[in-house]
Structure 1
Amino acid sequence: MLNEQEWQQEHCEFLSESETLLLRSEECLAHLELIADDRDAIDCLLASLRNLTVKADVACVERIAAFTRQLHDLLDAACPRVALQGDPLHTLKSCITLLAWQIEFIDRRSGQMPLDDSEQRELLERLAFQCGLDSPQAWASQSQSDSLTCQPHA
């Protein structure tokens, strides 16, 4: 369990690193707007989401870790066969915008996010539908069981 001082250090690092990863994700999305389905941009976006998941796991920000993990897994399942343009790209941009907004609302003392995850679920379901993936089981990864277990913050 992280004490308050340890959480403050982890939180500062998480905020800094997540900002960089979100900017990289936004650059990938901008590139995809210009060149639909560019494999390098998709791979960069997937890597950014994977790294953000790891950073959120280390900082014990469970809702962000879960959202980025699910978004990564959905895109990883969809991208070989679905064009990231039009509605799917717009919804993906909404996911990244929501992610940035939610990171801003993480409580700096406890590391908890006082918001529910209904918007996350709604956007993930919309994106899955737009990509032709009917259910979370169609794109859920086994990696969820591999994530770090976090203890509640003091």
Structure 2
Amino acid sequence: MDSWIWWLLAAVGLGIPLVLTAMPEFAMFALGAGAAALAAALGAGVVLQFLVFVGISVALLVVVRPVAYRLLQKGPQIRTGVDALPGASAVVQERVDAEGGRIKLNGEIWSARALNPGSVYEPGQQVDVVEIQGATALVV
């Protein structure tokens, strides 16, 4: 049997654990085996086939693997819960000053304080939430 067939069988064999374990490293080795099969089909010797396999596999591991893991670890930048509230607009329900007050934020009543000690906000006025401290919104 020709050596390129053995390399294709190796590529398929490396694809099986890829499917079973979802480890991308197996795909990189399978691609290396596929490149070695191409080299064998083009008439390269056994040593060159092996060097192509190792070279392509290592290159993929060095270049692609860190990029893939960085993208997998990043995840979407979606803010939820209390983290999503800063920057939201609210309507003053009870007078808000440095001591306290109440606002309506996303349909809920929140205790609030003015971020700047001298600021006073009257009922009906629209304010922006700057920060959440515990259950109190700091507004401007």
The TM-score, its normalising length taken from structure 2, stands at 0.30
| TM-score of the superposed pair, with normalisation by structure 1 | 0.28
Normalized per residue, which structure has more helix? 1
